[in-house]
Amino acid sequence: MNRRVWGLFPVLLGVVFLTSCDGGSAPSGDSGSPGTDPIDRAIAVLTPTQGNDVSGTVDFVQAGEAVQVVVNVQGLKPNTVHGWHIHEFGDISTPDGNSMGGHYNPENQDHALPNKTNRHAGDLGNLTADAQGNARQEITVDNISINGTKNPILGRGVIIHADEDDGGQPTGNAGARIAQGVIGVRQVNQPES
């Protein structure tokens, strides 16, 4: 065995030791790399697209195999209904929200509302604004994960649309994009919005 190989031996032994002490597997929650804390909370801070006044937050909490999603939005027209979806890219570089791409659809499903099992992973249905133009909604879905193996959403985007999602093809006819936000890791000790 030459000197180069013998010189690597302590490094390789250290890697094997650290891996065996760590357990070599990710913690429960099916997320993250070995030895890291699972990412079980995420947030998208919504900002208005050009010409709109809609803002808010979308909180995501991993709960076993499901994800609880809580949206709080302000600045909508009073008493209106709006489609909202997870989109494929976390890219807010265009003022109209189009750089977010289409609905997040890693399983190549048809578009549908949340009462259908087979739908885009990003299909979250509709929000209804109250008389003050505010909307708050909670939904629990089992076709995504925050950072696990089941359609992970971390780094993707959320769009609020101008119109109601009617469940039609290919994207529900929900109209223009009036707010956008990137899904990022939420600070663990911060309360949900």
Tell me the average pLDDT across 141-160: 94
pLDDT given for residue 67 in this prediction: 96
Type of residue found at 53: D
More confident residue, 148 or 136: 136
Do the Cβ atoms of 70 and 58 come closer than 8 Å? Answer: yes
Type of residue found at 86: I
pTM here?
0.77
pLDDT tens for each residue of 6-63? 444 444 444 444 334 444 433 334 444 444 567 999 999 999 999 999 999 999 999 9
Q: 172 pLDDT exceeds 70?
A: yes
pLDDT tens for each residue of 125-144? 999 999 999 999 999 999 99
Distances (CA, A) of 191 to 22, 32, 115, 132: 30, 22, 29, 24
| φ, ψ (nearest 5 deg) of residue 6 | -60, -35
**Token pair belonging to 147:** 């950072």
